[in-house]
Amino acid sequence: MNEFDYSIFWEETIKQLREEKEISDQEYNMYFQSLHYIESTRDKIKLSIPSRFIQSQLKQRYTSIIESRLFEISGIELTLDFEIENRTKDQDKKTESVIQREPETPQVYEPHPQLREDYTFENFVIGNNNSFAANASKAIAQNPGSKYNPCLIYGGVGLGKTHLMQSIGNTIHQEKPEMKIVYIPAETFINDFIESINTKKQTNFKNKYRTADILLIDDIHDLQDKKGTQEELFHTFNALYDANKQMVFTCDRPPSELKNFADRLKNRFVRGLNVDLHPPNYETRYAILRKKLEDRNVSISDDILELISQNINTNIRDLEAALTSIVAYAELVQKEITPEIAKQQLKQFFSSPIQTNITIDKIQKQVSEYFNVTLSDLKGKKRTKQITFPRQIAMYIIREITDFSTTEIGLEFGGRDHTTVMHSCQRIEDRIKTDSTIEPTVQELIRSIKET
């Protein structure tokens, strides 16, 4: 027998990683079941492996975590060494042919386990609202870790942050399969971190993130109030940043508006490139609907697409939900959908979401506080600039997030006529188009109204 026999370390490592779900059952069946321990030397563990394909998968995905775990368990720096199985002729012909085909399959694109396959640049419609963010994301995918590091993509819900972030991941995964890409929603990052403390597995946690070539963390606003996790991310950030590893983050607001968030971490997020996403205009909404329809084997007339694009201007998630609903209906009734049927069918999507707990009064109070004007001035007759702007904003927000009619709103502003309310809302809409500071103000106010 060889002087070195590290088989027990190997077995224990795989056992632990399976228990901790670092290696899922599916991954185990795919890659590990067919591995066999052969022998050890002073600093190597030699394994037999059925194909070069499996070898390349293992090397890309698992060797670093296996080797670091081996070190934790054994205290010896062991590396893995693979030997492709030498099949002899007397083996079953069937296995033979399977084995032979495998080395030729590396071209077949293996999906990344954490990324949605349909979140690609190809499926992402570029419009007025997202072209800068989309082009920056493409540049990052082509040259990760170079110019735009880190990159922060921010914007409201359903505007395509996750889609863009995962498109970066998918492109890199396809073009540079050797890179280790870690995609994670911030919420999972928090849970992983807490669990690593509870189970005293901080080293695993660190290894998982600090060995990434590409780190994609989605929805970092979820880290608000989470001091410990922020601290951990701060160190992860520094380690990856120093090693020129690409990081991309998404957030539902500009970082300056994050609450209970360590300044030093905030500063790091904004260090590289910041891009924001806006709600799409009519043309883009229409183009997105067309694109979403491409893969579905059902015909929805242009009239209907126009109808949906005209009526839903919040975000792309709502747009898709309406389309899905109408497609499902068309499939069910098996007949051409007329605009009348569509209107009926989409009623719930077209009316603005009812926020029962949000009153006009509440919005007025928040807005007057924000602009530091009195409530009675806000509702009153004064027409100085300091008052009219907050008043218009308040009306606009009420229209956006509640179901009150313009008549009802007018009544709450000193008995104004509904046309005045409409005019005020229009004023804000126009100004949003020309002044990029207004939309963020509105969004910030809406968030704080919803939070209280």
Nearer residue to Mg ion within complex by CB, 68 or 162: 162
Host H or E run for residue 59: helix 52-61
Instruction: Work out which of 163, 208, 268, 285 binds ligand ADP, going by CB under 6 A.
Output: 163
Q: How many of the chain's residues bind ligand ADP (CB under 6 A)? A: 16
Question: What are the CA-CA distances from residue 132 to residues 127, 282, 378 (Å)?
Answer: 9, 18, 37
Site for ligand ADP in 123-162 (CB under 6 A): 123-125, 130, 157-162
Report if residue 246 touches Mg ion, rule: CB under 5 A: no
259 binds, among ligand ADP, Mg ion, none (CB under 5 to 8 A by kind): none
Q: Using CB atoms, what's the residue nearest to ligand ADP?
A: 160
Count CB atoms within 10 A of the CB of residue 257: 17
Instruction: Report helix, strand and coil shares of the chain as percent, to nearest 5.
Output: 60, 10, 35
Cα separation, 143 vs 271, in Å, equals: 18
Q: At what angle do helices 438-451 and 385-401 cross, to 10 degrees?
A: 60
Strand pairing report for 36-40 and 44-49: antiparallel
Inter-axis angle of helices 438-451 and 418-434, nearest 10: 120
Q: From Mg ion, ligand ADP, none, which one binds at residue 56 (CB under 5 to 8 Å depending on kind)?
A: none
Residue 162 binds Mg ion, judged by CB under 5 A = yes
Site for ligand ADP in 298-327 (CB under 6 A): 316-317, 320
Q: Is residue 55 a contact point for Mg ion (CB under 5 A)?
A: no
Closer to ligand ADP by CB, 57 or 274: give it. Answer: 274
- Distance, in Å, from the CA atom of 425 to the CA atom of 423, rounded to the nearest integer, reads 5
272 binds, among Mg ion, ligand ADP, none (CB under 5 to 8 A by kind): none
169 binds ligand ADP (CB under 6 A): no
Greatest alpha-carbon pair distance for the chain in Å reads 96
Tell me how far apart the alpha carbons of residues 397 and 87 are, in angstroms, rounded to a whole number.
Answer: 71
- Cα 236 versus chain centre, distance: 19
In the complex, what is the shortest distance from the CB of residue 152 to ligand ADP, in angstroms, rounded to a whole number? 13
Least distance from ligand ADP to the Cβ atom of residue 171, Å: 15
| 399 is a contact residue toward ligand ADP (CB under 6 A) | no
Between 10 and 124, CB nearer to ligand ADP: 124
Chain residues binding ligand ADP by CB under 6 A are 123-125, 130, 157-163, 288, 291, 316-317, 320
Chain residues binding Mg ion by CB under 5 A are 161-162
